Amino acid sequence: MNIYIESTARDYITKKSQDKAITLGVGKREDAHCGCSVSGGAFPFVKLGVSPFDIDIYNKIDIDGIEVYYPDSVTSSFKTVTVKVEGIFFYKQLLALGN
């Protein structure tokens, strides 16, 4: 699995996280029952920092000075995960995209 952190996301993480760390995970999407074309499946998510309770059970990799923690389910669900920043004006948040 490849993990990419865009430069704007790296700057955001460095500024907002004292540990310069993020945690990746896998969320599950239930089947949509609204008649739209969205179906069930898995999606990656990202959080700033890492829980001290989970630090020992996660895999850890350093990417450009950012510590990335993730469970095995991320590697089995995605070939690539890209972390980027989205938002407008002063409201910004991290976003993980996987494929």
Q: Identify the structural domains of the chain with CATH numbers, from first to last.
A: 2-30+38-98 (2.60.300.12)
Element (H, E) at 77: helix 72-77
Element (H, E) at 25: strand 21-29
pTM of the model: 0.86
CA 75 to chain centre: 12
pLDDT, one tens digit per residue, over 73-97 is: 999 999 999 999 999 888 999 999 9
